[in-house]
Amino acid sequence: MSERLPRKVLVTQRFFDAESLVYLRANGCEVELVPLADGQADGDLSEDQLQALLADADAWIVGHAWVTGSLLARLPRLQAIARRGVGYERVDLAAVRASGKVATIAVGGNDASVADHALAMMLALGRRLGDSKARMINGDWTIALGGDLYGKTVGVIGLGRIGRGVVKRLSGFDVRVLACSRTPDWDYGREAGVRFVELDTLLAESDYVTLHMPLNDETRLLIDAAALSRMKPGAMLINTARGGLVDDRALLEALLDGVIAGAGLDVFLSETDGSYRTTTEALLALPNVVATPHSGASTHEGLQRTNLIAAQCVVAVLDGENPPAHCVIADGRRGQGGL
């Protein structure tokens, strides 16, 4: 067997673990980890910066950078683009196919991490953990009464891998679970004790509403002022999916006016639209908002899983083989498929 020539893999994400590095190097890859400044993500890099970094790369393990047609046209050597995550609204799939390249996502790697995060937000909101700590720091040890998750009604919008993970975790809390899905799986519903309902019914009856769907033209701003007005006054909204699913300005007004009782937010519209920055800051200042910096998938274990899946997809493409079909979002190689 002839010795394999080194293939260069560029990683523009933090927290790339040793096991995934070992895997890539054992499969004939030279790996370059791009150093990012504190608070910087690869989505902050300009197209010119990305082109300079990727000029001699055969594969790219990417986080939140925009993968555009104009960028791909400047990178003839690049063969594989592997997202360390599952969302791909920033990837131009048509351009990937037209350029003969392959784009993949890390399906299954962070499902458990995000499902855990959604439950953590429900519990933190219900028991007023953030508000209580802030009061104590200011010397106020008065008990802030919260509420149980036990016995409540939870509405799950989107029943993919993460949504089902949330349902599984909720089984220990003796809750009533409602679900809204484009394609209801009635057998699953019977087995898991989930009642499928229309969106309006879910919003009207749920004490907690948690979002678990992709961002696309159909779901963009799904939770707007009208949807928020249909929720219970004491309800909580959880968004660990995508910022564009919720109209953050309408959410801020709903929280200030008492239309709903609280929100747990891991994602924000300001991540992609700077005009919402002041809205995000106002949301963060509210005592009935629990917030994290798009970190729902970012656990040691979750990132190790997604790193390795991305690495395995890269090696498969560079070896001229097919990555797992459920990870492929675009495949421009002759005779190949893709979503």
| pLDDT tens digits along 180-232 | 999 999 999 999 999 999 999 999 999 999 999 999 999 999 999 999 999 99
pLDDT category of residue 5 using cuts at 50, 70 and 90: low
Q: List b or e across 37-57, with b for residues whose CB sees 16 or more CB atoms inside 10 angstroms.
A: eeeebbeebeeeebbebbeeb
183 and 125 together in one domain: yes
A 10 A CB-CB count for 276 gives 19
306 and 273 together in one domain: no
Q: Is residue 326 part of a domain?
A: yes
27 and 46 together in one domain: yes
Q: Is residue 274 part of a domain?
A: yes
Q: What is the CATH number of the domain that holds 228?
A: 3.40.50.720
pLDDT category of residue 6 using cuts at 50, 70 and 90: confident
A 10 A CB-CB count for 116 gives 17
pLDDT category of residue 314 using cuts at 50, 70 and 90: very high
Q: Which residues pair with 292 in a beta bridge?
A: none
- Residue 333 CA to residue 91 CA, distance in Å, equals 17
pLDDT category of residue 9 using cuts at 50, 70 and 90: very high
- The one-letter amino acid code at 318 reads L
Q: Could you tell me how many helices (H) and strands (E) the chain has, helices first?
A: 13, 13
Angle between helices 300-318 and 18-26 (to 10 degrees): 10
User: Higher pLDDT residue, 225 or 39?
Assistant: 225
- Residue 228 CA to residue 209 CA, distance in Å, equals 10
Please pick, among 7, 64, 271, 305, the residue that the annotation labels catalytic. Answer: 271
Q: pLDDT tens digits, residue range 49-84?
A: 999 999 999 999 999 999 999 999 999 999 999 999
Please pick, among 294, 305, 321, 333, the residue that the annotation labels catalytic. Answer: 294
Q: Is 326 a catalytic residue?
A: no
72 and 185 together in one domain: no
Please pick, among 7, 164, 212, 242, the residue that the annotation labels catalytic. Answer: 242
User: What is the distance between the terminal CA atoms of the chain, rounded to a whole angstrom?
Assistant: 34
CB–CB of 17/303 below 8 Å? yes
212 and 320 together in one domain: no
The rounded mean pLDDT for the chain is 95
18 and 156 together in one domain: no
What pLDDT is stored for residue 161 in this prediction? 94
The tally of domains found in the chain comes to 2
Does residue 2 have a pLDDT over 70? Answer: no
Does residue 319 have a pLDDT over 60? Answer: yes
94 and 143 together in one domain: no
Does residue 251 have a pLDDT over 80? Answer: yes
Structural domain that includes position 124:
111-291
Alpha helix segments (H runs only) across the chain = 18-26, 47-54, 69-73, 93-98, 111-126, 129-137, 161-170, 186-192, 199-205, 225-229, 248-256, 277-284, 300-318
Average pLDDT over residues 269-275: 94
Q: Is residue 2 part of a domain?
A: no
Q: Is residue 66 part of a domain?
A: yes
**Residue 41 CB-half CA count within 13 A:** 12
Q: Is residue 336 part of a domain?
A: no
83 and 228 together in one domain: no
Residues 6+ apart with CB under 8 A from 253: 225, 259
Q: Is 198 a catalytic residue?
A: no
148 and 170 together in one domain: yes
Helix (H) or strand (E) holding 291: strand 289-291
202 and 319 together in one domain: no
Q: What are the contacts of 38-42 at 24+ separation with CB within 8 A?
A: 42/12, 42/13
Q: Is residue 232 part of a domain?
A: yes
Q: How far is CA 201 from CA 232, 268, 284, in A?
A: 11, 25, 29
Which has the closest alpha carbon to 307: 72, 49, 23?
23
96 and 143 together in one domain: no
Q: Is 294 a catalytic residue?
A: yes
Q: Is residue 338 part of a domain?
A: no
Q: Is residue 339 part of a domain?
A: no
Collapse the DSSP code of 66 into the 3-class scheme (helix H, G, I; strand E, B; otherwise coil) and give the result.
coil
243 and 322 together in one domain: no
Whose tokens are 């920033």? That residue is: 90
